[in-house]
Structure 1
């Protein structure tokens, strides 16, 4: 296959990844908002055990990756051992749980926007813990994102949006999102380290390793003692089958989305994946706002523009830095 043919194939693979990630996670976001805010059954009860979503998704993704590995199994290569995922499994279990829990206190668009500010805790930890110095352009990106999130959080929302949440407590919601970002930062760093040490590890290997440990940790957390909330979550699903179906669809979307994300990382790298997921978050906010009947105010749209301007500039700087490093390697 010539260079032109390879380029077309790569472009088709990238389009395939973008379509898969956007479709899976935009729909999953809508389901997540539905599960966290909908009133189920005759008593109109909310599903309060949102951490159960992480366990359910880990189990479904574990099964999915196991099936894919056995279907596409190749000759034995030096893949990453399962024990290498244990630390990332911890942060990947706690982080998303906090992100989902935040939906009890803030709206889905607010959660998506807050979680877009991942660079802020990463830079803070890099400076305080590792003594890393950042350029003024990187600080400008952080200021745009932080300012956008702050304006969005302080903007007035209509009563319909607030009433969707049982116990509105915005500071707690944004605090949970911040902790979610901190743990996500550790998770991403560990995944990059595993990919660098074991380049033969493919998308499904990583998906299996992460969800194996995630399932173990979540099982202990949800069912580790008699009064654990996992038993109540199961009982709620038995009493309200419609909630169980929403959770199942949510998990299937997560499995499909994870499949595309790990495939994108293995084929195009984490920077391309970041670009795709960042633009997806913006679309998620638009779709959620339109479908929920709660349009954002001009000030809130302005804050969204600030956040994604900062993120887009950050991606541009990373791409520029990546190309510069590649040129240096070729020179040597």
Structure 2
């Protein structure tokens, strides 16, 4: 009976993590799309300074992680020092900013779909530079994802979707997303290396270190670099309080989402987190198509299922490798 209660509690925790990740990031995606396409005020002005979202989220997540460490986390001498994060924070600052900037040129579903294909540059770098050999099923996964993204990119978007974009330019938008993927690859590999060298580092430590340096880098770019647009973004928020509230909730969703991701990894492992976030990205596309006025053509839906079919197969292969082989009867 005790085992059944424990399993039930574990199921409740898993559902709690799933609900937190889905709720935080799907609503954040809705706000991100709103800020990139909506016209504010009687003059119909657009919010042109999308990288400001990255700076604002860094600041809110920095404050949030500091609060969580102060209230809940115990001090550990084995945690990685904050200065260790200066390098991955550079790519983590530039990468998401490029992804946000891409929303001026391509639709939100297209951006999510391209960002879901992170496995492609990872396998390319591994095969070309590190001599890693992949299995046939892994290449099948990559082929499905690459074909799906290519089919989506070549499919014609609806006129309604294109009319909402600030500057429709598919090649430039997809190029920004690709650069985002490559930078994310470096960020993730460096974070993993830090975690291996400092095993006592917890999720809030990583969140604090990354967002500390991210806030510094973003501040220099937004407010001290010519054309950064930080002061213009603040002025826009002052003139349009509705946009300011959207940005605030965007940042809060990001902080809550990061907490649920770290909680999921610590309780259920990275594979469970990958599964949840992959399904969440599919639902983000679904919500965008049904409720945000971004209708997809039949060909685009086929490409979406190809991408997430490939990702689902990849998750299945990882799960099969991590499970112990059963004994023959």
Range class of TM-score, shorter chain: over 0.9
User: C-alpha displacement at 1:306, in angstroms?
Assistant: 0.4
- The superposition leaves residues 11-68 of structure 1 with CA deviations (integer Å, 9 ceiling, x where unpaired) of 2222111110000000000000000111112221111111000000000001111111
Asked if the contact 1:51/1:100 (under 8 Å) is kept, the reply is yes
Q: Give the equivalent residue in structure 1 for 2:178.
A: 178
Deviates more, 1:261-270 or 1:212-221: 261-270
CA distance in structure 1 between the aligned counterparts of 2:58 and 2:290, rounded to whole angstroms: 30
Q: Which structure 2 segments of 5+ residues have no match? A: none
CA distance in structure 1 between the aligned counterparts of 2:57 and 2:157, rounded to whole angstroms: 31
Asked if the contact 1:202/1:263 (under 8 Å) is kept, the reply is no
Asked if the contact 1:207/1:262 (under 8 Å) is kept, the reply is no
CA distance in structure 2 between the aligned counterparts of 1:189 and 1:9, rounded to whole angstroms: 33
Alpha-carbon spacing, 1:160–1:190, altered in 2? closer, same or farther (3 Å): same
Q: How does 1:95-244 map to 2 (within 5 A)?
A: 95-225=95-225, 227-244=227-244
Q: How does 1:1-332 map to 2 (within 5 A)?
A: 2-225=2-225, 227-323=227-323
CA distance in structure 1 between the aligned counterparts of 2:217 and 2:151, rounded to whole angstroms: 36
User: C-alpha displacement at 1:77, in angstroms?
Assistant: 4.3
Asked if the contact 2:160/2:293 (under 8 Å) is kept, the reply is no
Deviates more, 1:222-231 or 1:45-54: 222-231
**Secondary structure at the counterpart of residue 67 of structure 1:** helix
**Secondary structure at the counterpart of residue 132 of structure 2:** coil
Deviates more, 1:59-68 or 1:290-299: 290-299
CA distance in structure 2 between the aligned counterparts of 1:38 and 1:250, rounded to whole angstroms: 15
**Secondary structure at the counterpart of residue 106 of structure 1:** coil
- The root-mean-square deviation of aligned C-alpha atoms, in Å, is 1.6
CA distance in structure 2 between the aligned counterparts of 1:266 and 1:222, rounded to whole angstroms: 34
TM-score w.r.t. the length of structure 1 is 0.93
**Secondary structure at the counterpart of residue 323 of structure 2:** helix
CA distance in structure 1 between the aligned counterparts of 2:186 and 2:4, rounded to whole angstroms: 38
Asked if the contact 1:206/1:262 (under 8 Å) is kept, the reply is no
**Secondary structure at the counterpart of residue 48 of structure 1:** coil
Asked if the contact 2:161/2:293 (under 8 Å) is kept, the reply is no
User: C-alpha displacement at 1:6, in angstroms?
Assistant: 3.7
**Secondary structure at the counterpart of residue 78 of structure 1:** coil
Asked if the contact 2:158/2:296 (under 8 Å) is kept, the reply is no
Aligned residues: 325
Deviates more, 1:266-275 or 1:157-166: 266-275
Asked if the contact 2:161/2:295 (under 8 Å) is kept, the reply is no
Asked if the contact 2:28/2:250 (under 8 Å) is kept, the reply is yes
- The superposition leaves residues 156-199 of structure 1 with CA deviations (integer Å, 9 ceiling, x where unpaired) of 22111000002110011111111111111122222222223323
**Secondary structure at the counterpart of residue 49 of structure 1:** coil
Q: Which structure 1 segments of 5+ residues have no match? A: 328-332
Q: Give the equivalent residue in structure 2 for 1:330.
A: none
